[in-house]
Amino acid sequence: MEQTGWFECSNELLNRFHRNVRWSMKGNFISIPTDCPQRDERLGWTGDAYTFGPTANYLYDTAGFWQGWHRDIWSEMQRNGTMIPPSFVPIVPNYDYSIPAAIWGDVAVAGPWNIYQAFGDPGMLEVQFHQSQAWIDTGIRRNEVGLWNRITFQYGDWLDPKSPPDSPGNATTATHLVADAYLIHNTKLLANMASILGRHVLAGRYHDERARLTREFQAAWMINGDMANRTQTAYALALHFGLYTYNKDRTAAAKTLRGIIVENDYLVGTGFAGTSSLGFALRGINATDDFYRMLLQTRVPSWLYQVIQNATTTWERWDSLLPDGSVNPGEMTSFNHYSFGSVANWIHQVIGGIAPAKPGWKAVTVSPLPGWNITNAKTRFLSPYGEVSTEWWFENNQVEAAAHRNGFHLIVQIPPNTRANVTMPNGGRTMEIGSGYYEFHDPKYLSP
C-alpha cells in the first residue's frame, strides 16, 4: 500500500508514538488486518479493524485492501444464512467465532462508511451496502424493544485499564450499554448510506429507528441524564454518538465527563470501545485541552507510557510492560497491536488540523487546535485530488524588528478541484478557499 499520511510536531514523544502507530499497522496489514503478528492468533479480528479504520485510511491507501477483506466478510456472513460477521475474518476451520457481538460485528457497517468517507467511491459503497443492511436487520440479536438481547455475549469496552489481567472483558462499563450505544450509532450510519445511494424511503426508516432506539437507550441506561456507569467510556460514547435529547442533559454530561477525567488525574480510562471516541467527545464539548493533557501523559495508563518504555509499536494492553519492567502476566499481552493507535485519527484532525469535509476529500476541513506544550505541527495527506497539507507554529520574537511576526502562523496547501473551509483557532473566523497555497497569521494568538 502507498503511504498517504504524515504527521510531526514539536513533541518528540508524540512523534515517536505516531511512528509506533505506523509500524503496528505495517506489521499487521498483510493480506488481512491481523490484530497482532507475533503470537498464535494472527487473525483478522473485526473489532480492531473497526476502531482503527479511519487512522489506517489516513496513513495508507487502503481502498483495495479493505475492498478485498469486506468481500470476505460478506462471504462469511452468508454462510448458513446467519448474516453475522465472525469476530475474525476469514474464519479458521474448526474454530468458528460467528457470534453476534457489537463493534466486532458492526465493522460490516462502519467499515464501508469509513471507506466511503476516505475515498468517495459510491460504487464500492453500493457493493458493501448489502452486508451493512444484513447485519443491522438480521444478524443482531435484539430484545423486545430492539436493543441488544441481554443474554448475548459482548466484548464490551475490551481491555479497559481496570479490567483484571485474567479477564480482559470485565470492564467498568456495562457491556450491553456499550453494545446499545454502538447499535444506535451504526443505525445512523446505515441511514446515511441509504440516503447517499438514493434509497430515501429506507433511509427515513433507519433514521426513525435510530431516534426510537435512542429513547429506549435513555430509558435503559440513563436516570435524569446520568449514565448508569460513571465512566469515561459511558459518557464519551453518549456524547460522541449524540445520545442526549436535551441540551441541559448534554451540558450536565459534559461536566460529568470532565470531572471523571480530573478525578483520574488525566489518565486514560477507556478500552477498545471508548478510546476512539473519547478525544472527539471532548472536542465536541470544547474540552480539547483536557484531552491534550491525557494524550501527553507519560504515566500508565497512557499512550506515551509505552514510548518511555522504549516501545517501537503500539501495545494491546495499556500496561503490557509493567512499570517495574516485567511483562504483564495476564491474557492479551501483545506488544504489537494497533487498536489503541486509533487516537491518531484525533491527532491528524485536531493537532494536524485536516479532515475530509466531503467524501473522498472533495472538500476539506482545516481547523487546527493547538494545545498544552505543542508549539508547531506539520501534517500532509495525499488525497485522491492531490496533496493536502498544513503547517502551523507560534512565534514570540523578542527583537523589535521581528515582533510583527509574533503570534500564530498557518500555511495551508489545497490541491486542484478541491475546496476547503479554514478555521483559525482562538475563536477565529472560517474562510472558504479554493486550490492553492495560503498563509494565515493571527498576531493576537500567542503560544499556550
Over the chain, what HEC string results?
Answer: CCECEEEEECCHHHHHHHHHHHHHHHHHEECEECCCCCCCCCCCEHHHHHHHHHHHHHHECCHHHHHHHHHHHHHHHHHHHCCCCCCECCCECCECCCCCCCCCCCHHHHHHHHHHHHHCCHHHHHHHHHHHHHHHHHHCCECCCCCECCCCCCCCCCCCCCCCCCCCCCCCCCHHHHHHHHHHHHHHHHHHHHHHCCCHHHHHHHHHHHHHHHHHHHHHHEECCEECCCCHHHHHHHHHCCCCCCHHHHHHHHHHHHHHHHHCCCCCCCCHHHHHHHHHHHHHCCCHHHHHHHHCCCCCCCHHHHHHCCCCCCCCCCCCECCCCCECCCCCCCCCCCHHHHHHHHHHHHHCCEEECCHHHCEEEECCCCCCCCCEEEEEEEECCEEEEEEEEEECCCCHHHHHHCEEEEEEEECCCCEEEEECCCCCCEEEECCEEEEEEECCCCCC
Decide if 316 is catalytic: yes
* Ordered structural domains, the chain, with CATH: 5-351 (1.50.10.10), 355-447 (2.60.420.10)
Among residues 76, 316, 391, 395, the one annotated as catalytic is: 316
Catalytic residue (one of 41, 126, 216, 331)? 41
pLDDT value at position 158?
A: 95
What parts of the chain have a pLDDT lower than 70?
A: 40, 96, 448
pLDDT tens, 137-150?
999 999 999 999 99
- pTM (2 d.p.): 0.96
- How does pLDDT run across 248-269, given as a tens digit for each residue? 999 999 999 999 999 999 999 9
pLDDT at residue 398 in the model: 80
41 catalytic per annotation: yes
> Which pLDDT score is estimated for 259?
98
